[in-house]
Amino acid sequence: MDYSQFLAMRQEIALLVVFLLVFLYDTFMPKKALAATASFSTVLFGLFTVASFLWGNPGEVSAFAGMYQTSATCVAIKNILNVGVLIVLIQSCRWVNGEFMSIRRGEFYELLLVTLFGMYLMISARHFLVFLIGLESASLPLAAMVAFDKNRYESHEAAIKYMLTAVFSSAVFMMGLSFVYGLTGTLYFSEIALQLGNDIDPLLVVALAFVISGVGFKLSLVPFHLWTADVYQGAPTSVTSYFSVISKGAAAFAFLVILVQAFGTFYSTVWEWMLYALIILTITIGNLFAIRQTNMKRFLAFSSISQAGYIMLGVVACNAHGLESMMYYILVYIFSNLAAFGVIGAIENQTGKVLMTDYNGLSKTNPWLAFSMMLAMFSLAGIPPFAGFFSKFFIFNAAISQGSIAIYILVLIALINTIVSLYYYLLVVKAMYISPEEPQIATFRSACTERLGLWICVSGIIALGIVRFFYDSINALGAGLNAPDTITNLLNMIG
Amino acid sequence: MFSNVLIYFVIIPLLMLGGFFLCRDIKQIRAVAVVGSTALLALSIWLLVDYLGLRAAGATAPMLYCDSWTWFAPLHINLAVGVDGISIAMLILSSIIVFAGSFASWKIDDARHFFMWLLLLSTGVFGFFISIDLFTMFMFYEVALIPMYLLIGVWGTGRKEYSAMKLTLMLMGGSAFLMLSLIGIYYHSAADSSQLTWNILEIAANGAITTEWQYFLFPMCFVGFGVLGAMFPFHTWSPDGHACAPTAVSMLHAGVLMKLGGYGCFRVAMYLMPQAANDLAWIFLILTGISVVYGAFSACVQTDLKYINAYSSVSHCGMVLFAILMINTTAMTGAIMQMLSHGLMTALFFALIGMIYGRTHTRDIRLMGGLMQIMPFLGVGYVIAGMASLGLPGLSGFVAEMTIFVGSFEHADMFHRVFTIVACSSIVITAVYILRVVGKLLFGPVQDEHHRSLTDATWWERLSTITLIVSVAAIGCFPNFFESLIKFTFSPELFHAIGM
């Protein structure tokens, strides 16, 4: 066996090292030192993030008989996720350091790092078994994280709901896999594509539907979204923010890889139309339900459902443009959504309030929090000059580059939905800035970690769009592809 | 980048934004507002003089001061700027109104944040007029829309939350269609897919958009901009929005922002898709014809001063789109003149209404009367604005509407003739509602004895009003100058493409 192929997994291995260090620290350090678990883990993860930017890219390598694949694009999406996780960790420091968490600080980080490891595997897997291991290790520990507030009833309820749906969706996914295996006799993505050829078997359509719904659960696409709102509401805010951006980003990328690599030939015949239906449903229903929410976390749950629909536009484009703009969208979405969750978390930690009516008049008592929240809302709604505008524009642009008239209609529906989303995002702005009622939340000074997290997010919201560096770097991943609108080049870019 | 003069139209408002951030008290805020808006005004006048100089020296390019800086190279997005006579006219209009608006908001509450949002709005407006790249144009367009929400919602009066939301959603709804059509234009901008471009001049030169695609994209583009131009039936945001907005915002919004719609229809929809424009003009002619007449009739029955003026804006802005759709040089020149004229005149109206409302605390004409005796300066200003609006020779309205109707009448077929006559009739209706208000408000008996103790305009209000009056009169007295400024820009290709 060639042991050098482990080097291809250097990001995963480094992540495991971080995990082990946190675990050892948590297990063997004296009680006094445990108070510093949060800072220790955050700093360690920060170092890992930097290192992963600097040395994480082994180039395009296929390891373990083609089960594991890495490339500049895979490394880039992992790095994007790392940045998001780092912000989540910074924002959650105060919560972790709270009285309530004192006996299980380390566990939060351990569970989180394990799920991240699972997502890494999902991204790099080129064999369905490896993918399944990634999927499971990304899902099951999350249930424990959701149940972290063990004194809160909602937290338990959310954990059970999440657990059941996650297991159920895995079962559905595996059912689809077994059909695929029955058809082709292999679980390698590339082999599947070769074996399937161009013939449409009815069994294949069913298998694809199962596979799509299995991953759809992870991405909380409608109609597989029913767990989302309850889980988002019940989970501790730090866990919710992790849920909403990181696990979504990883799943979206993995989804693209599976669809393109294993089932790429059936794009226009089978799954393009499935995705159309899913996208329209996801965006529309996510938006319509978001309008009526009064709890901020539920509100963002539905908002993130509809955002997942927009992310899927990058998949449905099925070309390198789509992939680039999807990665860019995920990056921007991480910053915008984490800014919103940062404000919610800061207010919840201070006052325990999470209702939208509690935000009335927030601009008078806590102008900076209100300002950050407003920027987050504008960015999520796609208002220039904030980053969300650019990411939305680029993803629509990428979708249309596919060129059929059907995609124009799809994009038009998505665009009309942005108006609906603007309405409910503006409701938050209205509560904070316009509502004449007395402020519900007294002036307070948030913890320095929370402020640091918000500063990072706000500067991201402002800079990610206007400064061309970020999009250019993502685009550079596909450099050398002369015609970015073919599926072959998309495959080349994924690696 | 900084060697191009146009970019300063965006940089100055942004610097002002930063300046407001650093200000400590209201005096400094006013100082920044005055210095900045004067600088913008001076810059636009200098640009006008320099532009005319260049043209006189024989510059024949369709756009001058062109420059382009790469922004997102993979998507061919550039920050491209350039102006012709029309853009310059719009820039001057915007800077005059920003200048007058700064003085009209002398006493606003929470001035720092008000001016910051106002200047963000102005940044969008100026950026829109200097851009010739569809992406940046659209970005600036949206930048100009969103501050309206907070400006109306926070500083407005009446049903402000409802109006602000309605306005924002309707305008953003328009821009959703617009975005799709702009992306569509981009993907058909060149025959060779590696040469795709967002640059208006290049797209027009390529002329690669096929007729079928034009039929598909043109209506979306025209409606997208038309919403902001208050085209029937998408005008309903306008009366509510204007009625609830604070003075300077109404001025800027009716004066400049609605012109973004007309300008966009002209510059993007008509210019890039002339074939569809020619073939589908009749649909929009009907709609804009309805706007013109319907707006005027609605204004007749309103009792709130701002509603009257808002519906009057619907009518006048409808006239702009109406004239553009006539697709001939005379009518289009008239359309641009009407944009200028309506911008200045309606800003003057809204400024005066704001000043009157600030004193009487009502805008209901039934509760006011005889204001001419009490505040003669504001009264005279109102009469002048009214006369400009109903088209008295010597003021801007006459020049614009005359040109439009002469141009429209050049079409000899029945359809155009009928609609021209119908639209013409709005002039009469305009006279009805203007004279009704002037008679009731200014010359009738004093309705409320408390009004007798009110004071006339302060110096900053006078400055704001006089600036606008002078501009209105300037257009009315020197129409040839403005016409020659605009005329050169009707590039022959537009008409050539549709065989006229």
Which residues between 202 and 221 in chain B have a beta carbon less than 8 angstroms from any beta carbon of chain A? 216
Q: B35 burial class (0-12, 13-18, 19+ CB within 10 angstroms)?
A: middle
Number of domains comprising chain B: 1
Tell me whether B174 touches chain A (CB under 8 Å).
no
Count of other CB atoms within 10 angstroms of residue A397: 24
**Tokens 């829309």 found at:** B145
The reply to whether omega before A436 is within 30° of 0 (cis) is: no
Which residue, among B136, B159, B162, B179, would best test binding to A if mutated, counting the most A CBs under 10 Å from its CB?
Answer: B179
Closest CA to B101 of B125, B82, B84, B85: B125
Handedness of CA A224, A225, A230, A234 (dihedral sign): positive
**β-pairing, B64-72 with B77-83?**
antiparallel
pLDDT digits (tens, 9 = 90+) for B183-213: 999 998 888 877 888 988 888 888 888 888 9
Burial state string for B280-319 with b = 16 or more CB within 10 A and e = fewer than 16: bbeebbebbbbbbbbbbebbbebebbbbbbbbbbbbbbbb
The residue-averaged pLDDT of B405-423 equals: 86
Contacts of residue B295, defined as CB under 8 A and 6 or more positions apart, other chains included, come to: B230, B232, B235, B311, B312, B313, B314, B315, B316, B318, B426
Say whether pLDDT at B500 is over 50: no
CB B78 within 8 A of CB B68: yes
pLDDT digits (tens, 9 = 90+) for B92-108: 999 999 999 888 888 88
Beta bridge partners of A127: A188
What pLDDT is recorded for position B94? 92
Q: What is the pTM of this model?
A: 0.94
Tell me whether B14 touches chain A (CB under 8 Å).
no
Tell me whether B198 touches chain A (CB under 8 Å).
no
Count of other CB atoms within 10 angstroms of residue A382: 27
User: Residue A384 and residue B142: Cβ atoms within 8 Å?
Assistant: yes
Gap between the Cα atoms of A141 and A146, Å rounded:
9
Q: B155 burial class (0-12, 13-18, 19+ CB within 10 angstroms)?
A: buried
Nearest to B146 among A378, A411, A418 (CB): A378
Say whether pLDDT at B492 is over 70: no
Per-residue pLDDT of chain A (495 residues; tens, 9 = 90+): 788 888 888 899 999 999 999 999 988 888 888 888 889 999 999 999 999 999 878 888 888 888 898 888 899 999 999 999 999 999 998 888 887 777 778 888 999 999 999 999 999 999 999 999 999 999 899 999 998 887 888 888 999 999 999 999 999 999 999 999 999 999 999 888 888 888 888 888 999 999 999 999 888 898 888 899 999 999 999 999 998 899 899 999 999 999 988 888 888 888 888 999 999 999 999 999 999 999 999 999 999 999 999 999 999 988 888 898 999 999 999 999 999 999 999 998 888 888 888 888 888 888 899 999 999 999 999 998 899 999 999 999 999 988 888 999 999 999 999 999 999 999 999 999 888 778 888 888 888 888 999 999 999 999 998 898 898 888 888 766 555 556 777 887 777
ipTM over 0.95: no
Alpha helix (H) ranges present in B131-159? 134-155
In A, minimum Cα distance to B193 occurs at: A483
User: Residue B169 and residue A411: Cβ atoms within 8 Å?
Assistant: no
Gap between the Cα atoms of A404 and B431, Å rounded:
52
Contacts of residue B44, defined as CB under 8 A and 6 or more positions apart, other chains included, come to: B9, B88, B91, B92, B94, B95
Tell me whether B153 touches chain A (CB under 8 Å).
yes
Distance from CA of A347 to the nearest CA of B (A): 23
Gap between the Cα atoms of A200 and B33, Å rounded:
68
Instruction: Find chain A residues with C-beta within 8 A of B149's C-beta.
Output: 426, 429
What pLDDT is recorded for position B491? 54
Instruction: Give the E-state strand segments of B360-455 in sequence order.
Output: none
Say whether pLDDT at B499 is over 50: no
Say whether pLDDT at B446 is over 90: no
What pLDDT is recorded for position A21? 93
Confidence of residue B495 (pLDDT cuts 50, 70, 90): low
Tell me whether A59 touches chain B (CB under 8 Å).
no
Instruction: Find chain A residues with C-beta within 8 A of B143's C-beta.
Output: 384-385
What pLDDT is recorded for position A266? 85
DSSP string, A372-410: HHHHHHHHHHT-TTSHHHHHHHHHHHHHHTT--HHHHHH
| Residue A420 lies in domain | 3-494
Count of other CB atoms within 10 angstroms of residue B49: 10
Say whether pLDDT at B57 is over 80: yes
Average pLDDT of chain B, as a whole number:
86
| Residue B456 lies in domain | 5-497
Tell me whether A378 touches chain B (CB under 8 Å).
yes
Tell me whether A415 touches chain B (CB under 8 Å).
yes
User: Residue A429 and residue B150: Cβ atoms within 8 Å?
Assistant: yes
Number of domains comprising chain A: 1
**β-pairing, A61-63 with B77-83?**
unpaired
Token duo for residue B262: 């007309």
Token duo for residue B402: 């005359």
User: Residue A433 and residue B150: Cβ atoms within 8 Å?
Assistant: yes
Closest CA to A23 of A101, A92, A106: A106
